[in-house]
Amino acid sequence: MSPHQDSPPNDQPQEFVLLHGGTPRTDFASIFLLLVLLLLSRMSVLRAFDTTFIGGLQGDAGLYVWLVKSNLRDLFTLPWFNTNAFYPYTLTLAWSDNFILPSFVIGALGAVGMPLAASYNLVILTAQFLNGVCTYLLCRELTGKPLPALTAAVGFMSWSFLGAHMGHPQLQFAFWLPLSLLCTFRFMRFPRTRSAVCLGLCFSAAFLCTVYYAVFIALLSALLLGSVILMRPQRFRQRHYLRFGAGIIIGIIPMIPFLWPYLQILSTFGGRNIYEAYYFSATPLSYLSASSWSWLYGQTAPLSHAEANLLPGFVVFFLVWFGVRRVWDAPQLTALKYALIAALGLLFVSSLIPGQMARYLGALCSWFAIIFAVLLLKRLAELERRMGFAILTNRGLLGCIALCALILFLISLGPLGNPEKGHFALGVFRFFYETVPGFGAIRAVSRIGIVVVLCLLVLSALSLSYMIDRSKLRAYVVVLPLLLLVAENQIDRYPLESEVPAGSVFEQLERLPRSNEAVLILPWTEQLKEDGRVESWGAFARYNVQYMHWAFSLERPLVNGYSGQRSKIMREYPKHFRTFPSAPSIRALQSIVGLRYVVYVSRFDPAFNPSAFQKQVQAFKEELEYLGGDDSGNHLFRVKGSRRLTDEYSLLVPSYPNGTVTLEFVAPSSGVAEAHTIVEIFNSEQPEEPVASTIVRLDGQPALFSFAVPSSGQRVRPLKLIFKVQDNLPVFLTGHRYNH
């Protein structure tokens, strides 16, 4: 049988995708050059390597530094996926990216004596270095040439979007994307189970860095395989699909224990609403917009929002255009070529026009663009089969990757409609949102642009390789795109911050005996709206992430917290603390089991009035015991006092694991010997039967009562306990605690 006949593969390995090896000397030189370029661009952090954190410590950046500390101390000591923050909510490590794999690497470096800041910085810089290395290996195997591969690698490693988002450290671990592409291509070359296992392991490892990249790997691999099957539908047989599926399953086995908490979170909070993706989506102009920190293109930042300054460099667009022209240069493809260009042109124009009708036009153009692109690739496949090609040609490879880039680009544009305002969401994103498991968890849909840019850089390498073969370009001409990419993606600054000392009040609290008694740090945020809602979630993030760091050494449950999820406590409790101390704030403190201490950080309150504060402290001295303050303006209180059990009172208790609640009741003396009443305790979600009941004597003496937290299907939200007192007699709750 001729090797050029398009027939299904037999049991003997046939090289379907031409992958190329490299020489160790050339690869070492290229990788060394990547290292030098990275170090030159990160000189600022090298000067303070063990004292400052690259990306900073505020907001999201500080959250991931806290996750490192929490994972290393608490992952295997607290109940699975619980943290000390967000009390009384549980499984809170799954409220955001878990960052477990980077944490373990940082912990290993710390075990040999490296300071936390130095370990953290080294891991982040290594991830950025690997972004370049893995992209180089992918493109070198696809092209067989080091210079085109190095150009793509430099483009991905130095991309200004990733550089400007060092405050989102999880995004720096993008090297799993080119590595997973390499595994996919190796499977297509020879459909062996081990390549699929490696792809599954990439998926698992990415999941332990950021859930976003795990979803992107699944999407990218599926799109690439689908496009190749479109080109060569007879290439793979059933046994190859079984090998692929079996390998993926084996590869994701290590991830399964870490997946369960996320499924619980998804069941509790549901997926992201489409309106969130609408506001965090990209536009066509996003790919022409660079970060405001960009040395060359900073003035383009207003063309998009900060999550979508996705410009990879104009030299990339030039190289991609040159490569795509090869895909459709056959006369038989002319009509489809112009139809595709027209659809994309109308899409771009519609993005510049305000109004929802323009968004509908953009959605229509998006779907037509996919249809025309699929038909064009299918027609190209037919032409190549007539010419006797059985392998995936360079032209076919360009077409497959271009189709993936196009679909991912259209997904990154979001739903193109906000259902919250009565619009229809008709964009390509909507289809994947409704059909792909896990896709509904994506909020910052513009981040799919990371995969789009990777595909564009791979196309650039393939185009540059073809230009070298076709035009016999001199070496200095080939190096020019590399130098241009470095210049186009240079950023002139990035955050570097050291830890802020907590103050002696936290040291005083740390010296108290360890217990499960929780602490709350106030104020919640800088300012509230008139209706009591948080004015700025950015300020909320800065305040609460700082509190998470200050409270970490206390090893106590902390009510504060910040992550990708916003709980009912985050949304509703701040309004009760508009003034502190106050009657509403006292009632709120008494509604969380085991909440025993409050730290008030006065310098974070723009409206703080020392004299008014002292008067309020005196007014509520029966409910709050003042334990002292420090020179930083921190004030420590112990929550005391009592609360009468009424129909309005409820107590929030962690739902996981099944711990024990201890309550202290006092009922005023009735003057009658052996007089008593019965207190029944109910789960508010199942108020038919009490979960516990106890007899309280009417003698004015405290009575302790302990009971096990009832099992329920709820594993994330706290249980809400309500009380019923027989004959509505006065019974007071004077203390409560929770143990697990």
The pLDDT tens digits for 444-474 are 999 999 999 999 999 999 999 998 888 766 6
Q: Is the pLDDT of residue 8 over 50?
A: no
Q: Is the pLDDT of residue 441 over 90?
A: no
pLDDT per residue as tens digits for the range 165-200: 999 999 999 999 999 999 999 999 999 999 999 999
The residue-averaged pLDDT of 520-544 equals 95
Lowest mean pLDDT among 66-75, 290-299, 435-444, 568-577: 435-444
**Percentage of the chain exceeding pLDDT 70:** 97
Q: Identify the three-state secondary structure at position 696.
A: strand
The CA-to-CA distance between both ends of the chain, in Å, stands at 70
Of 680, 516, 691, 673, the closest CA to residue 596 belongs to 516
pLDDT per residue as tens digits for the range 358-399: 999 999 999 999 999 999 999 999 998 888 888 888 899 999
Q: Cα dihedral sign for 371, 376, 377, 383?
A: positive
How much is the pTM? Answer: 0.93
Q: Cα dihedral sign for 33, 34, 38, 41?
A: positive
pLDDT band at 5 (very low <50, low <70, confident <90, very high): very low
Q: Cα dihedral sign for 280, 281, 283, 286?
A: positive
The residue-averaged pLDDT of 526-549 equals 95
pLDDT band at 326 (very low <50, low <70, confident <90, very high): confident
Which H/E stretch holds residue 112? none
pLDDT per residue as tens digits for the range 216-239: 999 999 999 999 999 988 888 899
How many helical (H) and strand (E) elements, i.e. helices and strands, does the chain have? 25, 14
- 478 and 468 Cβ atoms separated by less than 8 Å: yes
- 87 and 592 Cβ atoms separated by less than 8 Å: yes
SS3 string, 225-280, reads HHHHHHHCCCCCCHHHHHHHHHHHHHHHHHHHHHHHHHHHHHHHHCCCCHHHHHHC
Q: What is the pLDDT of residue 476?
A: 67
Q: What is the pLDDT of residue 9?
A: 42
Q: Is the pLDDT of residue 645 over 80?
A: yes
The residue-averaged pLDDT of 127-152 equals 96
Of 657, 555, 660, the closest CA to residue 597 belongs to 555
Q: Where are the alpha helices (DSSP H) in 436-591?
A: 449-471, 475-488, 504-511, 537-551, 568-572, 583-589
